Amino acid sequence: MNIVCAFSEGPGIGLGHRRRVEGLARQLVALGLSVEARVLGDEAVTGEIVLVDSYRVRADDRTRFRADLVIAIDDLERDLAVDLVVDPDPGADARVHTATAVVVAGAPYALVDAGLRSLTRAPIGPDVTRVLVTTGGTDSDGVGARVAVELAGALPAVRVRHVVGPWGRSAEDTRVESVVAPAGLGPEIAAADIVVTAGGVSMLEACCLARPVVAFSIAAGQDRSLAGAAHVGAVLVADVASAASLAQELAHDHADRRRLSRAAQTLVDGLGSARVAAIIAGMARHGVHAR
């Protein structure tokens, strides 16, 4: 059975939707399903199964999406009349999705690439030598760059690496190392002693890799994810103004870094995409109400 996965990306959107879909697609293919992934345009999307990951359109718009099964990856708490909603954020509540036939919600369904589980991770040692700052693919305001520069000044002995997305802005400071990673941030995150990140997919990837995380919100929907992760002690929540100072404090607190690492890995085990793929495969073979 064929699944068409349509996702949004670009300036003002970033790469998070693509990352979620790509990791899920690999698991679907492993289960014997045929998957076509495409960037969402203005045309209608049709197929046996259509999966939609976009903040700009509603998956229950039948003029845009026509299929035997329609699936939405959605963390904006829109009540979508589709066959399956995957709400993958920590803190997600399935009860808000009343119009959906089947809902799976929360950190067990975090859509990160299962391949992260096999990466070698830097130990959570007493010394911090490397910090990664990432704020998504579309940080045109330079939020991440400013945080990275502040960190480089506060921690002169530490390598501060700043991820520059395709629609982002570089730090333009020789103390900050620029990172371009079109294939994903897994190895960069795994090598970091601390990750300072916006509260999107990269935060969940950092949790999966058991990194001590300082996180803040710069986009719609991230506050709930941050709150859910902080509730179980998996991240330290900051705002843009306080992120660098909080990361500096964390760099001098080995015990807190170890605590965050343990809680983060417990929160996001890296199997969310496999769990969702199994549900979709069951629905494809047996009908909407299969779980």
Q: Half-sphere exposure of 174 toward its Cβ, with a 13 Å CA cutoff?
A: 0
Specify whether 77 is located in the same domain as 176.
Answer: no
Specify whether 102 is located in the same domain as 157.
Answer: no
Specify whether 140 is located in the same domain as 245.
Answer: yes
Specify whether 158 is located in the same domain as 98.
Answer: no
Structure tokens that stand for 158 in this block: 């530490």
Let me know if residue 183 belongs to a domain: yes
CATH (domain of 88): 3.40.50.11190
What pLDDT score does 285 carry?
87
Of 85, 25, 30, the C-alpha closest to 58 is 85
Length of the chain measured in residues: 291
115-142 residue pLDDT tens: 999 999 999 999 999 999 999 888 989 9
State the Cα angle at 14 between 77 and 219, rounded to 5°: 45
Specify whether 56 is located in the same domain as 195.
Answer: no
**Cβ within 8 Å of residue 124, ≥6 positions away:** 193, 210, 212, 254, 257, 258, 261
CATH (domain of 160): 3.40.50.2000
What range defines the domain where residue 69 resides?
2-112+271-286
d(C-alpha 253, C-alpha 240), whole Å:
21
Reduced 3-state DSSP string for the chain: CEEEEEECCECCCECHHHHHHHHHHHHHHHCCCEEEEEECCCCCEEEEEEEEECCCCCCCCCCCEEEEEEEEECCCCCCCCCCEEEECCCCCCHHHCCCCCEEEECHHHCCCCHHHHHCCCCCCCCCCCEEEEECCCCCCCCHHHHHHHHHHHHCCCCEEEEECCCCCCCCCCCCEEEECCCCCCHHHHHHCCEEEEECCHHHHHHHHCCCCEEEECCCCCHHHHHHHHHHCCCCEECCCCCHHHHHHHHHCCHHHHHHHHHHHHHHCCCCHHHHHHHHHHHHHHHCCCCC
Specify whether 106 is located in the same domain as 132.
Answer: no
Query: What band does 288 get if pLDDT is binned at 50, 70 and 90?
Result: low
Let me know if residue 170 belongs to a domain: yes
Do 225 and 75 form a contact (C-beta atoms < 8 A)? yes
Specify whether 211 is located in the same domain as 103.
Answer: no
Specify whether 220 is located in the same domain as 125.
Answer: yes
Specify whether 170 is located in the same domain as 260.
Answer: yes
Q: What is the total count of domains within the chain?
A: 2
Specify whether 107 is located in the same domain as 122.
Answer: no
d(C-alpha 5, C-alpha 241), whole Å:
37
d(C-alpha 71, C-alpha 13), whole Å:
20
Residue 43: other Cβ atoms inside 10 A: 9
Let me know if residue 32 belongs to a domain: yes
Let me know if residue 231 belongs to a domain: yes
Q: Which CA distances in Å does 260 have to 17, 131, 200, 286, 291?
A: 26, 15, 18, 41, 33
What pLDDT score does 41 carry?
93
Predicted TM-score (pTM) above 0.85: yes
Let me know if residue 227 belongs to a domain: yes
- Burial track 201-225 (b if 16+ CB lie within 10 A, e otherwise): bbbbbbbbbbbbbbbbbbbeebebb
Residues above pLDDT 70, as percent of the chain: 98
Do 40 and 6 form a contact (C-beta atoms < 8 A)? yes
20-68 residue pLDDT tens: 999 999 999 999 999 999 999 999 999 999 999 999 999 999 999 999 9
Do 94 and 87 form a contact (C-beta atoms < 8 A)? yes
Query: What band does 219 get if pLDDT is binned at 50, 70 and 90?
Result: confident
80-110 residue pLDDT tens: 999 999 999 998 999 999 999 999 999 999 9
Residue 290 has pLDDT above 60, yes or no: no
Specify whether 140 is located in the same domain as 253.
Answer: yes
Residue 289 has pLDDT above 80, yes or no: no
Residue 169: other Cβ atoms inside 10 A: 17
Specify whether 163 is located in the same domain as 68.
Answer: no
Let me know if residue 291 belongs to a domain: no
Query: What band does 287 get if pLDDT is binned at 50, 70 and 90?
Result: low
